[in-house]
Amino acid sequence: MNIIQLSIIGIIAVILALQFKTTKPEFSILISIGAMIIIFYFAITKLDIVLSTINRIQTTFKLSDVYLDILIKIIGIAYIAEFATQLCKDAGYGAIASQIEVGAKLSILVVSLPILLSIVDTISALLKF
């Protein structure tokens, strides 16, 4: 699916959700969640292109698998957190959305610590010379 089709799905979902918002707000939220899941699914299918490009970069520059695994985890955390955050905001729970964002940022920090340690080790080794 291309961006035009995804945008049309989103616009139709918004129009339907607005129709139900005043009379049946629970249906409005369900329509919104359904549209988000559909759009998220089709967006995830594009990850094959990203992963193949990352693998191509890895083979070209002889990068370590550890760093690429960390990069993929960080991308996954960011996308899942963004999806959950927007879902919570759409349902009117901004405080929960903010806590998801904080949790995602901390998770990304924890996952990226090996890269940070590697940079510190490299700088330390350079300063000894």
Could you report the per-residue pLDDT of 54-71, keeping only the tens digit for each? 888 888 887 778 888 898
pTM of the model: 0.73
Quickly count helices (H) and strands (E) in the chain: 5, 0
Could you report the per-residue pLDDT of 94-129, keeping only the tens digit for each? 999 999 999 999 999 999 999 999 899 989 989 886
What is the token pair recorded at 69? 């695994």
Quote the pLDDT of residue 80. 92
Quote the pLDDT of residue 129. 66
Quote the pLDDT of residue 2. 83
Quote the CA–CA distance of 35 and 71 in Å, as a whole number: 28
Average pLDDT over residues 80-89: 90
